[in-house]
Chain A
Amino acid sequence: MVKGKVHPYIPNSEEGVKKEMLKELGLKSAEDIFEAIPERLRFRGTMKLPEPILSEARLRRHVEEMLKKNKNCKDNISFLGGGCWQHYVPSVCDTIAARDEFLTAYVGEAYSDHGKFQALFETASMIADLTGFEACNTPTYDWASAAAMAGRMACRTKGRRRILVGEDMSPGRFQVVRNYWKPEIEIARVKYDYEKGCMDLKDLKSKISDETAAVYFENPSYLGFIETGVREIVKIAHEAGAFVIAGVDPISLGVLEGPGNYGADYAVGDYQPLGLHIGFGGNQSGWVATKDEKDMIAEYPSLLYGVTATMKEGEWGFGEVFYERTSYASREKGKDFVGTTTALYGIVAGVYMALMGPQGFKELGEGIMQRAEYAKRKIAGIPKVTIASPGAFTFKELLIGFSATGKTVKEINKALLASKIFGGKDISGEFPVYGQSALYCITEMHAKEDIDKLVTALTDVCAD
Chain B
Amino acid sequence: MKTAHELRPGNVIMLDGSPWVVQKTETTRSGRNAAIVKLKLKHVLQDSTTESTFKGEDKMEDIILERLDCTYSYYADPMYVFMDAEYNQYDVEAENLGDAAAYIVDGMEENCQVTFYEGKAISVELPTSVVREVTYTEPSARGDTSGKVMKPATITGGGTLSVADFVKTGDMIEIDTRTNEFKKRV
**Do A and B interact?**
no
